[in-house]
Amino acid sequence: MITSVYAKAGIHDPRLRDAFRVCRRLARQRYPHLADCMRVLPAEVTLGMSALGATFMRIDDLTDYGAGSAEERIRRASAWITALEEDVERGDSTDPVRKAMVHLTHALDFPVDSIRPLNERMTRDAARAAPGTWQEWTQYQRPILGPCLAALDWVASRLGAPLTISAGHTEAMIDMMLGLQLVDDLTDLAEDLDNDYVKLPLEALNACGLTAQNLLERRWTPATAQLMRSTTERARALLHPDEPAIDWTFTSAVFMGAFRRLAMVQLRQVEEAGAAILAQPLTLPYATRQRILLPTRAKAALIWKLSPFTRGALSAPAPPQHRAPADLLARHSAPLIPVLPPPPHSSGARPPALNDTQLPRHVAIIMDGNGRWAADHALPRAEGHRAGAEALHDVVHGALEIGLPYLTVYTFSTENWNRSSAEVKAILDVVRDNVADQKLFDLDLRFCWSGVPDGLPKDLVEGLQERERTTRHRTKLTLTVCINYGGRSELAIAAQSLAQAAVAGRVNPVSINQHTLASHLPLPDLPDVDLLWRTGGEQRTSNFLPWQSIYAELHFTPAHWPDIDRRDLWQAITTYTQRQRRYGTARTETDTQIPAPRKNELHTT
Ligand code: IPE
Ligand code: IPE
Ligand code: MG
């Protein structure tokens, strides 16, 4: 006898079955592959994920498509979520997707309040603006995919089949989801063009000599073919097809593994489609999908049966009195704290108006002169470091105001251990106090720590990592703080990681080039430095960012760091705009500022 998925999951109420049925149908229509892949999971998990998936799709559809201005579409999505929240309070709904969600919320204690912030992250989609660079493309997707994964993982975990086991694993899954997203963007290209929507970043188009308009005109040229090739390659790299999923949970190994296999077949289809990709969306025939997935389904079903998998109950009816707080997103992504604008400078100074092409992308600062500042004021050196932290806050505010995307600061070098233990302790105490202080982290900044834990107090390392984790969805400014950082040590770490990959057979030693090495740096996404600024009058770089700074414009100023404020940053940036960057080319009389090449262009072999 074939038992239905609803019976297996203990859902007997016919109206509730209908609600879940609608969710599954929506998932099948919109993402047939997702629906296929969910069938490798236990019935409860399939249904739970369908309800969530249908919710995401509803919100996404309401924001993204349909009539009206972006604001109207966003309002419609918001009203749908309000209705969901009210339905959860009442314990039932007339809308099938919301009905399934009401059940999920009550049966699994799902924090439904986490849905609204997710929607807020999706709303940027409403503007239908093409991302400028791959970096922006990723920065836009990650804050959405992270919470979606967190929500799916919550449900799967409650049902005894967790998807992720560690932060590293979550990251790998998000990478794969980015790959899947890109595969979707390729296969649905024609449909998006029908809606006058170009989802691929302009950087990718420009690299092939195309504009968004060219793509919208749908002419198949060698440039379009090249765009398809390079995007396919990128998607394939994100999917990590050769990486064994050994440290994955069984659930994600079967679920994401199935997804990955389908996606690889789709990429082949894209490669073979030629001009057809511009005419209509590419689909994989049902039979092909089944041929790929059936063996996995059979194996997984057997293992679910035999394994001591403790099933949670999707059938549990009693609505709990107190639902869990909305910490779902916080677990994997971010606390739901509001992002505050930077306070203005006390003088009322405003940043110079520079356009994106003039603005450096990455400013790195050697904040030197704290000790001398303290001596000048007859204060202990520790006070110099405290005053230095205040200066950094102001400079960060200035970076946000002027719209700088990357700011990296040198706080404590591996060589600074050579100072007295009292001074080292004073510096680290200042760092600890600043990490604990919420002020900085209410701003729209993604905090990154560069450096090694060796020798640092454990609580400080944990504090830094926590701040990284809770701000990683932020998009405006990436603030990288170098603590216990040494440039050579960073390169040695990259070499070690590369050697390990070679020994494991993931990298062929003869094909190692500068891109490969760059991708093994501890912070591979950190772009090249455009402007390297040192205060305090010394003119050296003291083991700071050797890899990233090879073509940086250098700027040295005499003032001690604690005397610096955001106006000095703006001045440094203004100076930068007057530099002529040549990257090895010859100077011509008509030259003005040569735009910086993108990271990968500079790293050509
Ligand atoms: C920079 O200021 C901060 C750190 C190196 C931690 P210094 O402490 O180096 O100040 P000076 O160079 O002695 O004045
Ligand atoms: C560089 O400053 C390190 C930081 C600013 C954290 P130092 O003051 O330690 O550099 P040197 O030793 O004078 O080159
Ligand atoms: Mg110094």
Using DSSP bridges, classify how beta strands 531-534 and 445-450 pair: parallel, antiparallel or unpaired: unpaired
Span 347-376, mean pLDDT?
94
- Helix, strand or coil for residue 477? strand
pLDDT at residue 160, as a whole number: 75
Tokens 């249904």 sit on residue: 47
pLDDT at 533: 98
Is the distance from CB of 265 to CB of 284 less than 8 angstroms? yes
Nearest Cα neighbor of 551 from 566, 578, 530 is: 530
Answer yes or no: is pLDDT of 446 > 70.
yes
Return the exposure string of 126-144: e unless at least 16 CB atoms fall within 10 Å of the residue's CB, then b. Answer: beeebbebbbbbbbbbbbb
- Write the CATH number for 104: 1.10.600.10
* Residue-range definition of the domain harbouring residue 211: 155-309
pLDDT tier at 398 (50, 70, 90 boundaries)?
Answer: very high
Q: Is the dihedral of CA 380, 385, 389, 394 positive or negative?
A: positive
pLDDT at 440 over 60: yes
Q: Are residues 597 and 469 in the same domain?
A: yes
Same domain, 446 and 572: yes
**Is there a catalytic annotation at residue 368?**
yes
Number of domains in the chain: 3
Q: Both 231 and 166 in a single domain? A: yes
pLDDT (0 to 100) of residue 336: 34
Of 245-259, 353-367, 507-521, the range with the lowest mean pLDDT is: 245-259
Asked whether the beta carbons of 87 and 102 are under 8 A apart, the reply is yes
Q: Which of 60, 368, 528, 565 is catalytic?
A: 368
Which ligand 2 atom minimizes the distance to the CA of 410?
6
416 lines ligand 2 (CB under 6 A): yes
Residues 103 and 163 in one domain: no
> Are residues 46 and 195 part of one domain?
no
Of all ligands present, the nearest one to the C-alpha of 370 is 1
Residues 463 and 391 in one domain: yes
How far is Cα 230 from Cα 117, in angstroms, rounded to an integer?
34
- For the segment 429-453, the average pLDDT, to the nearest whole number, is 94
Question: What pLDDT was estimated at residue 599?
Answer: 43
Q: How far apart are CA 441 and CA 429, in angstroms?
A: 18
Of 19-28, 101-110, 250-259, least confident by mean pLDDT is 250-259
Lowest mean pLDDT among 49-53, 286-290, 361-365, 372-376: 286-290
Is the same domain home to 445 and 569? yes
Q: Report the alpha-carbon distance of residue 195 to residue 73 in Å, rounded.
A: 15
- What are the pLDDT digits (tens) for 138-179? 877 887 888 888 888 888 877 777 787 666 677 778 888 899
Whether residue 302 is contained in a domain is answered as yes
The answer to whether residue 483 sits within a structural domain is: yes
Say if residue 330's pLDDT is above 50: no
Which of 127, 147, 180 terminates a domain? The answer is: 127
Binned at pLDDT 50, 70 and 90, residue 325 comes out as very low
DSSP at 134: H
Tell me if 136 is assigned to some domain.
Answer: no
Residue identifier of the C-alpha nearest atom 9 of ligand 2: 416
Query: Domain holding 385: CATH number?
Result: 3.40.1180.10
The verdict on residue 347 lying in a domain is: no
User: Given this model, what pLDDT does residue 444 score?
Assistant: 87
- Residue 592: pLDDT band by 50, 70, 90 thresholds? low
**Alpha carbon 158 to chain centroid, angstroms:** 25
Looking at residues 236-244, what average pLDDT do you find?
79
Query: Does 369 lie in the same domain as 283?
Result: no
Q: Ligand 2, atom 10: nearest CA belongs to which residue? A: 542
What is residue 486's predicted lDDT score, i.e. its pLDDT? 98
| 413 burial type by CB count under 10 A (0-12 exposed, 13-18 middle, 19+ buried) | buried
pLDDT category at 590 given cuts 50, 70, 90 is: low
CB distance 540 to ligand 2 below 6 Å = yes
CB atoms closer than 10 angstroms to residue 590: 5
Instruction: Specify whether 77 is located in the same domain as 174.
Output: no
Distance 533 CA to ligand 3 centre (A): 14
Cα(477)–Cα(444) distance, integer angstroms? 7
Q: Which residues contact 89 (CB under 8 A, 6 or more apart)?
A: none
Domain closes at, from 276, 292, 309? 309
Give domain status of residue 224, yes or no.
Answer: yes
Kindly state whether residues 163 and 227 are assigned to the same domain: yes
The arithmetic mean of pLDDT across residues 437-458, rounded, is 93
- On average, the pLDDT of the chain sits at 85
Q: Using 50, 70 and 90 to split pLDDT, how confident is the model at 593? A: low
First to last CA, the chain: 62
What gap in Å lies between CA 375 and CA 448, rounded to an integer? 31
Determine the pLDDT at residue 469. 80
**61-65, 275-279, 284-288: lowest mean pLDDT where?**
61-65
Helix axes 70-90 and 115-122, enclosed angle (nearest 10): 170
pLDDT value, residue 128 = 56
Neighbour tally for 182: CB within 10 Å: 25
355 has catalytic annotation = no
Mean pLDDT (whole number) for 505-511: 85
Residue 334 lies in a domain: no
If asked whether residues 424 and 562 sit together in one domain, one would say yes
Residue 597 has a pLDDT of 52
Distance of CA 424 from the midpoint of ligand 3 (Å): 13
* 64-107 pLDDT per residue, tens: 766 777 788 788 888 899 999 999 998 888 888 999 999 998 88
CA of 535 to the centre of ligand 3 (A): 9
Range with lowest mean pLDDT among 308-312, 317-321, 519-523, 589-593: 317-321
Q: Do 185 and 115 share a domain, yes or no? A: no
Residue among 416, 530, 565, 568 flagged as catalytic? 416
Residue 306 pLDDT: 72
In the chain, how many H helices and how many E strands?
25, 6
Q: Closest Cα to residue 160, out of 293, 6, 314, 333?
A: 314
In a domain, 587, yes or no: no
Q: How many angstroms separate the CA atoms of 382 and 371, rounded?
A: 8
In Å, how far are 143, 200, 374, 384 from 183, measured between CA atoms? 19, 11, 57, 52
Of 78, 111, 127, the residue that ends a domain is 127
Within a domain: 498: no
Work out which ligand 2 atom sits closest to the CA atom of 367: 5
Residue of the CA atom closest to atom 8 of ligand 2: 368
Measured at the CA of 564, the angle between CA 562 and CA 567, to 5 degrees, comes to 160
* Most distant pair of Cα atoms in the chain: their distance: 87
Percent of the chain with pLDDT over 90: 48
